[in-house]
Amino acid sequence: MVDFWAPWCGPCLAAAPEVKLLAKEMSGRALILKVDTQAHPELAELYQIRSIPHFVVFRGGKQFTQSSGVAPRSEMRLWLERAGARMD
């Protein structure tokens, strides 16, 4: 899962602790990355990110699902489960 965010984005900063906890929970089962859209606008353009925070879940190198806006960790975990992440 990729979290597209920016340092000036209040909702992104609010979501950050939940994303960090999810990454810890899913260690070894799913990879969670963050892309600063301010530092890497070319990636935001490539994936057509129009609002942040924006989450894209990949499966087998292809986009599986995506969602804009702050989401609870339980919902983000569900996205990963649906994409095939093992749940121990």
Rounded distance, CA 83 to CA 29, Å?
Answer: 11
Convert the pLDDT of each residue in 14-72 to its tens digit: 999 999 999 999 999 999 999 999 999 999 999 999 999 999 999 999 999 999 999 99
Q: Which amino acid is located at 74 in the chain?
A: S
Active site residue 12: yes
Q: Please tell me which residue in 1, 2, 12, 30 is annotated as part of the active site.
A: 12
pTM as predicted: 0.94
What is the residue-wise DSSP string for 44-82? HHHTT--SSSEEEEEETTEEEEEEES---HHHHHHHHHH
Q: Please tell me which residue in 1, 2, 5, 9 is annotated as part of the active site.
A: 9
Architecture of domain 2-82: 3-Layer(aba) Sandwich (3.40)
Active site residue 7: no
